[in-house]
Amino acid sequence: MNIVADLPYNRLSARKIDTGRIVLNVREAGEGPLMLFFHGITANSAVFAPLMDAFCDRFTTIAVDQRGHGLSDKPESGYDAKDFADDILSLIQTLDRGPAILVGHSLGCRNSVTAAATNPDLVRSVVGIDFTPFIETEVFDALASRVNAGDQLFGHLQAVEAYLANRYPNIPAPAIKVRAASGYQAVEGGFRPLASPTAMAQTAEGLRADLVPAFRDVTRPVLIVRGGDSKLVSAAALQKTSALRPDLPVVVVPGADHYVNEVSPEITIKAIRNFIDA
C-alpha cells in the first residue's frame, strides 16, 4: 500500500478558485450549506481532513490554502489581517453559497473573526480555535523564531517527518505524515516547504496587530476553543478575551496544546457540532 497516497486528504476533491483578487487552492467534500476551514501559519488545507469528514454529510466543506501557503498564490506582500479576511469574503462571494460557517485555527481564527466583523452578511458563525486578542509579545517572538527556522532544505521526506514530530510533539504520527506529505515539495537536493518564507515572515509579524476591535465588533456567533495546554493562548489571554466578550462561549480542551484540531479531533468535532446545532 502507498501510505502517502492513502492519506485522508488525498480522498478529498482539490481545485483552484480564482476569486478575482487571488487564486486559492482548496480541498472539498460534501453537499449542503457552506462550511469553510482556514489553517494556521505554515500549515495548509490538508490538516482539516478529519473535521471535513465529520461534517461533509451535512455541509459543503471546503478547506483553503490561505495566501502564501500550500498551492495558493503567494504575492510578495499583503499579509495583514485585512488581506486574509478579504480573501475569505471574496471566496464566499465567488462560491455564491453563503452565508458560511468559518472554522479557523490560529492564523485562520484571526482571519475568520476579522472577516465576520468586516462583512457579517456573508458569515453565519465562526469557530475560532486557539487564537485570541491579548497574546503576549514574548509568545509572538517565539512563534516568529519557529516559523522562520522552518525554511530548510530536507534530504528526504522522512527527515521532514522527523523535524515536524520534534516541532509538534503532541500531534499524532498520522497527522504529522499529512503535514509532511502535503506541505513540502521536491526540489533539487531534497524537499522544501510549499509555504513561502517571505510570506511566512510577513504573516508572523502581522499576527501581532491588535485583534481587540474585531473581537469587540463581531456580531455573528463565535465559539472560542482553546487547548488546555496551549503555549500560544495563555489562560490570562483567554480570561481577558472573555472579559471583553462575556457572551462568547468557550470550550477548553484538556490535554491539548495549540494544535487542538489535530491533537484532539474528536473533542473538537463534538464542540463544533454542539455549537452549530445550538
Q: What is the pLDDT of residue 275?
A: 98
Q: What single-letter DSSP state applies at residue 71?
A: T
> Which entry of 130, 230, 257, 264 is annotated as an active-site residue?
130
- Judged against a pLDDT cut of 70, whether residue 5 lies above it is answered with no
pLDDT score at 10: 74
* pLDDT tens, position by position, 57-78: 999 999 999 999 999 999 999 9
The reply to whether 130 belongs to the active site is yes
Furthest CA-CA distance within the chain? 53
**Catalytic residue from among 69, 112, 258, 264:** 258
CA 20 to chain centre: 22
**What would the mean pLDDT of 41-47 be, rounded to a whole number?**
97
- Any idea which architecture 8-135+195-277 has in CATH? 3-Layer(aba) Sandwich (3.40)
CA distances from 1 to 172, 177, 222 (A): 20, 15, 42
- Structural domain boundaries in the chain: 8-135+195-277
The reply to whether 106 belongs to the active site is yes
238 has pLDDT over 60 = yes
Burial class (CB in 10 A: 0-12, 13-18, 19+), 72: buried
Average pLDDT, the chain: 95
Query: When comparing pLDDT for 180 and 98, which is higher?
Result: 180
**Tell me, what's the pLDDT at 98?**
82
- The active-site residue, picked from 106, 125, 230, 264, is 106
